[in-house]
Amino acid sequence: MRRNQSGDSIGPTSLAPAITVRSASGVGISSLVAAISSYLILFVTARSLSPADNANFLVFWSALFAIIGVLGGVQSESTRAVGSAATHGVSPGMDRPASVLGNGLAIGAGLAVALSATSILWAPNLFPKGGMLGLVVILAIAAVAYSGHASIAGAAAGRQDWTTYSRLMGVEAAWRLVAVGVVVIVGASIRSFEIACILSAVVWLLFLLFSGSARTAMAARADVTPKRLARQSGHALLSAASTAVLIVGFPILLRLTTSDAEYATAAPLILAISMTRAPIMIPLQAFQGVFITSFLRQRSKGMLALVRPGAVLAGIGLVGAVLAFFVGPPIMTIFGPTYRMPGSILAGLTIDAILMAFLTLTGTAVLAAGRHRAYSSGWLSATAVSLALLFLPVPIDLRAFLSLLIGPACGIIVHCLALSARAARRESSTADS
């Protein structure tokens, strides 16, 4: 018999109800706020900075959100651990389950140290020489601060406290937009924009001061010991790092595999990648906590649990690709005459975004099933294949399209094989009994 964190025995009847329409609307509105915020920031920087400076800002933007994306592993594992503790309980005899906030902050501090120690290896290739040290310090601070945000948001999702979860997400994004707006008012500079983008990292601390539910999430415990939570978080971090590289850090890969002359003209392509995936990936990532808690309750269904959300994604992808082909080019010109992009490229990048969404969805199902190694293997495979394809001797737009298409497809296959193998073992066990 499994037990909850209060020591009471639990069974299937104790499963928490699914997310309500009202709560889903709250999460959806928060994801919309986050998406609009990102669009407006990209618009403001594109109009306020020169194309060359904006290309540099987009590299910083990618690096920042790559770090936030890596810490998404903390959020996902916190959601799984707290949700599993609430749904299935903890093993009898466990002295004290792990603190998800303590685990997250330790990971954030370790990430900050790793970034600082290795910066000499990667920062000179990404950032302008004069401001390199300052940008490394900014990113290290962001790593620690956002680890707390990821822990609290993950614990809130695991508790199915969707109000706190959605408010954290929405306020954090809105705070960043306001900070960037202040920079425009007082005088735009690339460094000011970069500092403004990390100020929202302190929002979770304000929530702890004024929100009792946020403090409850802060005290949440996992379903496993601290040592095991750290180990499982390691797998989640590997997967999240791959996620971050492919989703928000992809411009960094392009920068590292492209000549200076070709990359100087790449701002329209980089912006197009962000524009085509944000409408799909921002809401999907916002609902990732919902998917994890849902898949926790549907472990026995295996691949069947993916049918309905997969069909929705496919429909969105088809409509989105058509819209991108016809409506995308005039939308891109809003950012300026130098940001023209053919509809065929925009449609192709939208298809890429759907493949990335499928990879995220299958990975979420594998994580909820407790297959941490398969979870990380799928994302690492996708990243390795995508990176290899960027070395093809073809134009940068074709390299980007193929990389973001074939790499995620390989990761999806790994995840689906893992889910199918788990279902086959379950059926074999049922037949033997």
Beta partners for residue 311, in sequence order: none
Is residue 2 domain-resident? no
Lowest mean pLDDT among 119-123, 167-171, 206-210, 249-253: 249-253
Is residue 249 domain-resident? yes
> Between residues 332 and 279, which one has the greater pLDDT?
332
Mean pLDDT of the region 290-309: 79
Q: Which H or E run includes 319?
A: helix 307-332
Q: Model confidence at 407, in pLDDT bands (50, 70, 90)?
A: very high
Is residue 99 domain-resident? yes
Query: What pLDDT is attached to residue 423?
Result: 59
Is residue 380 domain-resident? yes
Is residue 320 domain-resident? yes
3-state secondary structure of 249: coil
Could you read off the pLDDT of 245-270 as tens digits, one per residue? Answer: 887 778 878 888 888 888 888 889 98
Mean pLDDT of the region 387-406: 94
Could you read off the pLDDT of 174-184 as tens digits, one per residue? Answer: 999 999 999 98
Mean pLDDT of the region 300-326: 87
Which residues neighbour 416 within 8 Å (Cβ) at sequence distance 6 or greater? 303, 362
193 in Cβ contact with 40 (< 8 Å): no
Lowest mean pLDDT among 100-109, 152-161, 414-423: 414-423
Q: Which amino acid type is present at position 143? A: A
Is residue 3 domain-resident? no
- The residue segments making up the domain with residue 230 are 12-432
How far apart CA 329 and CA 134 sit, in angstroms, is 36
Q: Which of 155, 149, 167, 157 is nearest to 287 (CA)?
A: 157
Q: What is the total count of domains within the chain?
A: 1
Is residue 7 domain-resident? no
Lowest mean pLDDT among 205-209, 214-218, 251-255, 423-427: 423-427
Mean pLDDT of the region 397-421: 94
